[in-house]
Amino acid sequence: MCVKCGVENLKLTEIVRVDSKGRITIPMVIREALNIIEGMHVILIADTDKREIIVSPAISPGMDVYEIYMEIKDVPGALAEVTEFMAKHGVDLITTHCTSVRRGETAECILVADLTSAKIKPEELKTELLKLMNVKLVNIKSLRRSY
């Protein structure tokens, strides 16, 4: 809910310009709606096929954050199986973005996860995820903040 706006599930659209250094300014109405404050870290996920960037205000200093790319079977319950497994192991999912590649066959997902309090290490997480019935491929990489 946008505290200052007083509206739930508000969709905001703004056009901004990219400066010579590749920077954009997030308009104040959007910063307020998402509680983005100065000094906060955000996650940028670029989907080159769709030519879109997703900005997620979710990173705090000291978090052990990873991008988990997965290919899973495009069947009902496949993503639920993955998220239940991660919850069981203390993996905190920050964002989840899944797209069907071949309907009924394959979906690809990019998950951003905080492993700070996880009961499993990244290498172990990959091995165990691959044992799940609906998981086909897993790649995990650490996300380092750029300053």
Q: What is the pLDDT of residues 101-127, one digit of tens each?
A: 999 999 999 998 999 999 999 999 999
Measure the CA angle with vertex 41, ends 113 and 1; round to 5°: 80
pLDDT higher than threshold 50 for residue 144: yes
Residues with Cβ < 8 Å from 35, sequence gap 6 or more? 3, 57
List, in sequence order, the alpha helices (H) in the chain: 28-34, 78-88, 122-130
> What average pLDDT does range 6-27 have in this prediction?
81
Going by their DSSP bridges, the two strands 92-102 and 65-73 should be labelled as unpaired
| In contact, 78 and 134? CB cutoff 8 Å | yes
DSSP state of 144: P
Chain segment 40-95, per-residue pLDDT in tens: 778 788 888 888 888 877 666 678 889 999 999 999 999 999 999 999 999 999 88
- Give me the pLDDT at residue 61, please: 67
Distance CA 19, CA 46 (A): 18
At 76 the pLDDT is: 95
First to last CA, the chain: 29
**CA-based angle 26:30:34, to the nearest 5?**
110
Alpha-carbon Rg of the chain, whole angstroms? 17
What are the tokens at 82?
A: 């993955």
Q: How far apart are CA 75 and CA 101, in angstroms?
A: 12
